[in-house]
């Protein structure tokens, strides 16, 4: 159901968090209906105070200073990958800022595998004023190549895929300081096989805690991704127990009407785990 202004905002008492994970026509994996302008209009309609257009930043090649150059991994795991048109993207952001003066429109990227492509990511970040930088792990090393983890479920088994995924995520956090927010920390869960046993966070508590401990130790922020299966309050309590201090909300919208999706559930989960909004409605929620 699509809610109007009196819908989602009304159910939350008029208080919504910023949506810090939105894609537009400037991401290579969105279709013809993607629109930065319409995503902003949707945010205004709902009462979302800010949106960050965190366009995909992935690579099909590397430069000499990228760690992956030494690893020798084969690429080409995602055929859609295209470079960001930074000039066009930034111009579109400025147009939306002028058109929607009451909405804070942030620039950003969702940078994949930052520990492997550090120099390449840094080069793009230096080309413009990017305000929100998300770190994502969309692919993991497997038999000498980068592979989408969901493509390995029937080869390695679900438990082994998740174990390797979390291990690589800890490596990404420890080896890269280029991102501020860790996006969808259990990304393969989104594509869980229908013929597998149901996913239970408790089956991977040790692995989750290792990721959360590393992230908290670097004083960064955990994303509550509302496109993925919703993180439980227990998982967010693990985040607190491991030293985590802040959460970010992200719809991971690739279509305008997904902006702010399920934020009513997400804020309830965050609040039950002890996180709350600060004085600035545009800020992360903190404990």
34-91 residue pLDDT tens: 999 999 999 999 999 999 999 999 999 999 999 999 988 999 899 999 999 999 999 9
pLDDT in tens, 146-186: 999 999 999 999 999 999 999 999 999 999 999 999 999 99
Q: Is residue 231 part of a domain?
A: yes
pLDDT in tens, 95-115: 999 999 999 999 999 999 999
Confidence check: pLDDT of 284 > 60: yes
Confidence check: pLDDT of 218 > 50: yes
Q: What is the average pLDDT across 208-217?
A: 98
Residue 273 contacts residue 236 (beta carbons within 8 Å)? yes
Q: Is residue 213 part of a domain?
A: yes
Confidence check: pLDDT of 94 > 90: yes
pLDDT at res. 205:
98
Report d(CA 236, CA 272) in Å as an integer.
Answer: 9
The residue range of the domain holding 242 is 59-85+108-251+262-286
Confidence check: pLDDT of 11 > 60: no
Q: Is residue 40 part of a domain?
A: no
Confidence check: pLDDT of 7 > 70: no
pLDDT in tens, 226-273: 999 999 999 999 999 999 999 999 999 999 999 999 999 999 999 999
Looking at residue 21, the DSSP 8-state letter turns out to be: E
Residue 9 sits at φ, ψ, to 5 deg, of -60, -40
Identify which has the larger pLDDT, 6 or 191.
191
Q: Is residue 49 part of a domain?
A: no
CATH number of 164's domain? 3.20.20.140
Q: Is residue 183 part of a domain?
A: yes
Identify which has the larger pLDDT, 13 or 170.
170
19: which 2 tokens? 């949506």
Q: Is residue 190 part of a domain?
A: yes
Q: Is residue 43 part of a domain?
A: no
Q: Is residue 189 part of a domain?
A: yes
Residue 256, helix vs strand vs coil: helix
Report d(CA 46, CA 48) in Å as an integer.
Answer: 6
pLDDT band at 1 (very low <50, low <70, confident <90, very high): very low
Confidence check: pLDDT of 4 > 80: no
pLDDT at res. 14:
53
Identify which has the larger pLDDT, 274 or 9.
274
Q: How many domains does the chain have?
A: 1
Report d(CA 31, CA 15) in Å as an integer.
Answer: 31
């Amino acid at each position: 159901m699509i809610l109007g202004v009196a819908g989602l905002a009304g159910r939350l008492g008029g208080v919504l968090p910023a949506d810090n994970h939105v894609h537009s026509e400037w991401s290579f994996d969105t279709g013809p209906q993607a629109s930065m302008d319409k995503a902003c209009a949707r945010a205004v309609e709902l009462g979302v105070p800010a949106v960050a257009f965190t366009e995909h930043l992935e690579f099909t090649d590397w430069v000499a200073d990228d760690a992956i150059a030494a690893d020798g991994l084969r690429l080409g795991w995602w055929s859609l990958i295209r470079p960001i048109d930074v000039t066009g993207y930034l111009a579109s952001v400025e147009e939306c800022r002028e058109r929607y003066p009451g909405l804070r429109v942030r620039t950003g990227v969702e940078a994949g595998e930052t520990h492997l492509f550090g120099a390449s990511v840094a080069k793009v970040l230096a080309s413009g004023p990017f305000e929100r930088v998300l770190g994502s792990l969309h692919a993991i090393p497997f038999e000498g190549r980068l592979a989408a983890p969901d493509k390995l479920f029937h080869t390695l088994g679900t438990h082994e895929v998740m174990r390797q995924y979390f291990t690589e995520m800890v490596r990404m956090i420890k080896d890269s300081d280029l991102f501020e927010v860790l996006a969808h920390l259990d990304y393969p869960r989104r594509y869980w096989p229908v013929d597998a046993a149901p996913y239970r966070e408790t089956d991977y508590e040790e692995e989750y805690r290792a990721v959360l401990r590393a992230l908290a130790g670097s004083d960064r922020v955990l994303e509550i991704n509302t496109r993925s299966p919703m993180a439980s309050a227990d998982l967010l309590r693990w985040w607190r127990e491991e030293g985590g201090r802040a959460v970010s909300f992200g719809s991971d919208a690739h279509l305008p009407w997904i902006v702010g999706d399920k934020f009513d559930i997400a804020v309830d989960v965050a609040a039950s785990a002890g996180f709350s909004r600060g004085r600035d409605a545009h800020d992360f929620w903190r404990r």
